[in-house]
Amino acid sequence: MTSMFRHMTTRGTPYLFLLPGLVILGALLSVPLYKVVEYSLYDNVIVEREPTFVGLDNYANLLSDSGFWSAGLNTIVFTVGSVLGHMVVGIGLALLVNADIAPRARTFFRSMLILPWIFTAVVVALNWQLLLNPFGLVNYVLQWLGLVSEPLDWLGNPDLAMWSLLLISTWRGYPFIMVSFLSGLQTVPKELYEAAEIDGAGFWHKFWHVTLPQLKPVIFGVALLDLIWTFQLFPLVWLSTGGGPGRATEVLSTLTFRLGFVDFQFAQAATVAVSILIISAAFTLLYLRNEARRL
């Protein structure tokens, strides 16, 4: 009896350790995911005690709404542009920091270059509103260099706002790529570089033929993560441009928030939220397939 009991508790031990975490996570996710789909099938949810069931009407309305499609297009531009910006700047800086310099200098530059990442989005947005102001420093420098003849309203001009947003997003997000790539670089066997050097390979040759192929899985995983998180990013966009001017930088996340917490149309907001969920679920599956191989 005792031995059987002991056997059972040993078998159950890992479940006991996991129980609190998995129960909390399960509850925090399953309830809202069920609810958000339910909301999207009703009208007047949350504000009315007895919402009306409307089936898929919200989805039909959404698909015929030009605002939804333009927000979708903006989301694609913002996500692809941001991820590209993060990758180029992040990988470039990782290579520079990883170059043959004194370890203390490396630590110093690395910690300085991570800084944009640790400020809250509000502070980032305020900083850039200040810099990109028509009377701000960016315009001053550009005029001094003779690149523009008169100050531009970077965040207030509908033709420029998305570019400005991409600049802000690149500044904010490159450190994650830099740090990930930097730690990936440490895993590349030194012999590969030595062999390439004996063959007379220069910097670019080594980068294209040793570093990139070796770090392909890392780059792929990190880029996907970045894509999934940028796709649903809310605070930076909302605080930098508020989706404006007009709807020039409205993305799906700011549209969701506006529908819910400005217009109080929570059912319509839930419908957009579900569409965000479906698209990011597709990318998540892609990411998990990549991760599952490593588990």
Site for other proteins in 184-213 (CB under 8 A): 184
Q: Map the footprint of other proteins across residues 128-167, applying CB under 8 A.
A: 128, 130-131, 133, 135-137, 140
Task: Answer yes or no whether residue 284 interacts with other proteins by CB under 8 A.
Answer: yes
Q: Whose CA is closest to 155, among 176, 130, 173, 178?
A: 130
- Whether residue 146 contacts residue 153, with contact meaning beta carbons closer than 8 Å, is answered with no
Residue 82 binds other proteins, judged by CB under 8 A: no
Q: In terms of CB distance, is 5 or 159 closer to other proteins?
A: 5
Q: How far is the CB of 68 from other proteins (least distance, A)?
A: 15
- Given 20, 146, 202, 246, the residue binding other proteins (CB under 8 A): 20
Instruction: Kindly write out the interface string for residues 253-282 of this chain, putting x where it contacts other proteins by CB under 8 A and - elsewhere.
Output: x--xx--xx----x--xx--xx-xx--xx-
Report which residue type is found at 23: V
Instruction: List all residues 6 or more positions away from 268 whose beta carbon is below 8 Å from its beta carbon.
Output: 58, 61, 62, 259
Count, residues near other proteins per rule CB under 8 A = 97
Q: Is 8 in the site for other proteins (CB under 8 A)?
A: no
Q: How far is CA 220 from CA 24, 77, 100, in A?
A: 31, 19, 26
Is residue 119 near other proteins by the rule CB under 8 A? yes
Q: Nearer to other proteins by C-beta: 28 or 159?
A: 28
CB under 8 Å to 181, separation ≥6 — which residues? 90, 91, 94, 215, 218, 219, 222
Task: Decide: is 56 part of the binding site for other proteins (CB under 8 A).
Answer: no
Q: Quick one: which of 1, 4, 99, 198 contacts other proteins (CB under 8 A)?
A: 99
| Least CB distance to other proteins at residue 103 (A) | 12
**How many distinct helices (H) and strands (E) make up the chain?**
13, 2
- Shortest distance, position 143 Cβ to other proteins, whole Å: 10
- Closest distance of CB 146 from other proteins, Å: 16
Q: Tell which one of 62, 87, 93, 215 touches other proteins (CB under 8 A).
A: 93
Residue by residue, DSSP assigns 216-272 as HHHHHHHHHHHHHHHHT--HHHHHHTTT-STTTT--HHHHHHIIIIIT--HHHHHHH
Burial pattern 57-75, b for ≥16 Cβ within 10 A else e, equals bbeeebeeeeebeebbebb
Looking at the Cβ atoms of 159 and 247, the one nearer to other proteins is 247
Which among 233, 171, 117, 80 is positioned nearest to 243, based on CA atoms?
233
Site for other proteins contains 39 (CB under 8 A): yes
